[in-house]
Amino acid sequence: MANSGIYVKMTKISEITGRKIDFQLRVRVINLWSTPDRANPREEGALHMIFLDKDVEKLDLITA
């Protein structure tokens, strides 16, 4: 990837707080699975991911 001259500070997983809404992550997804919707089990309800950053810190993320 070519260097565009723009510096982007990557956020460590340990630096993420409830008040921090703007951050850049560079992570590896080490596990990914979905769970069915409670109202309609035939549809996907949530996507679960476990992230791992370069400092070997983990973050469990659930998206609806």
Domain spans of the chain? 27-63
* DSSP classification of residue 14: G
pLDDT at 1 over 60: no
Q: What is the C-alpha separation between 28 and 13, in angstroms, rounded?
A: 12
Q: What is the mean pLDDT of the segment spanning 35-53?
A: 87
pLDDT at 12 over 70: yes
Give residue 2's pLDDT.
59
Q: How confident is the model at residue 59 (pLDDT cuts 50, 70, 90)?
A: confident
Q: Give pairs for 44-51: CB < 8 Å, separation 24+.
A: 51/13, 51/25, 51/27
Which residues contact residue 28 at a Cβ distance below 8 angstroms, ignoring those fewer than 6 apart?
51, 52, 53
Higher pLDDT, 33 or 64: 33
Cross-strand bridge partners of residue 29: 51
Cα 34 from chain centre = 14
